[in-house]
Amino acid sequence: MFRLHRFAATVAALAASSLFLTGCVAGEGAAHEKAETTLNIDFATYNPLSLIIKEKGWLEDALDDDGVSVNWLQSAGSNKANQALRTESVDIGSTAGSAALLARANGSPIKTIALYSQPEWSALVVAPDSDVTDASQLKGKKIAATKGTDPYFFLLQSLEANGLTPDDVTIENLQHADGWGALQNGSVDAWAGLDPIMAGAEQAGASLIYRNLDFNTYGFLNATESFLSEQPEVAQTVVDAYEHARAWAADNPDETAQILADVAGLELDVATKVITERSNLDVSAVPGQKQLDVLTAIGPMLVEIGDVSSQDLVDDALESLLDPSFAEKADPSAVGAE
C-alpha cells in the first residue's frame, strides 16, 4: 500500500510539474515565456571571421536573452550563399562583392551590411605537371570555375588581360572543390581557384600562373531585406560580432589559423599562409565608394557575358546594394565579453 501511495504521489507531482513547465497551471510560466526566433547565418572557409564567431559562440551568448537561437549553415561558395539568401534559407550570408552585385542585379533582395575582408583569394592554377606557365597559353584549354563567384569573374578579367576572351577557352562550371579535383584528374587544364582550397593545392605542387589582387573583390556580408526590416537589432548584433572577431583575429593570428585548419581540413602551415598572406582582415567594415568602384568595373562584363540582361539592372544594383548603417554603428564590445 505504501508503495502504491508513493507511486500515485509521484505521478501527481510529475503531472503538476509538467503543467507548470507548459504554463498551464493558472497561467503560471506564461509571463516568463519569450518569443523564440532563429537567426539563420552562414559560415564559410573563405570567410575566416565567420569561423571564429561560430567557434567562440559569441552570437549564441549575445542573443540568448532575447530568445534568438542561432542556426549555422555552411556555404561552399558565393553562388551557394546567394542561393540560400534568395530562398531565405539564410538571413545573412557571405559572398564576394562581384557575386553580391550579380545577385542584386538579377532581383535578389539583399543588402551588403558589412565587409569581412579584402582577400587575394583567387588565381589561375595549373597542375604540377602542366606545361602551361602563363595565362596567355590557355587558348583552347578547359578551365574549371564556379559561375557566379569571384574566381569566375577573376577568370574573365584574367583572360581579357592576357588577350583572350571566354570564347577562346572552355569554361567548366564546377564547384570550387570539384574544380581542384578535376585539375588533379586531368579533366581540365586549369582552375580558377579559391582559398583555402587553392593554398592546399599549392602545397600539393600546383602552380599559380596568374595573380592579380585588383581582380579580387572584397568579402561582402549580405542580409535579406526582409530580415533587416523585421530584425534590425539582430542584424546589428551580427555586425558587432564580426567587428569583435576582426579585433580578436588581429590579436590571435595563430589561433585564427588553427580554427581555419580545423574547419577546412588543412595543414596548419597552409592555413597560416591563407590567414597571414592572402586574407586581409584589417579593413574597414563599412561598405562604400571603394567597393562600388571595383564593382563598377565588373558590371559591364556581367552584361556582356549574359549573366545580367541589361546595364540598367547593374546600375540599379550598384545604387541599392550597400547599406553601411550597421557597420557604421558597429560596437565590438557589445559581444564576446568574457
Q: CB–CB of 217/121 below 8 Å?
A: no
pLDDT at position 338 is 59
Residue-wise pLDDT for 82-101, tens only, equals 999 999 999 999 999 999 99
Residue by residue, pLDDT tens for the chain (338 residues) are 433 343 344 434 434 344 333 333 333 343 334 458 999 999 999 999 999 999 999 999 999 999 999 999 999 999 999 999 999 999 999 999 999 999 999 999 999 999 999 999 999 999 999 999 999 999 999 999 999 899 999 999 999 999 999 999 999 999 999 999 999 999 999 999 999 999 999 999 999 999 998 898 999 999 999 999 999 999 999 999 999 999 999 999 999 999 999 999 999 999 999 999 999 999 999 999 999 999 998 999 899 889 999 999 999 999 999 999 999 999 999 998 75
Of 227, 237, 247, nearest to 330 by C-alpha is: 237
pLDDT per residue over 180-221, tens digit each?
A: 999 999 999 999 999 999 999 999 999 999 999 889 899 999
User: Which grid coordinates belong to 141?
Assistant: 584549354
Secondary structure of 93-123 as H, E, C letters: EEEEHHHHHHHHHCCCCEEEEEEEEEECCEE
Is residue 147 a contact partner of residue 141, using CB atoms and an 8 Å limit?
A: no
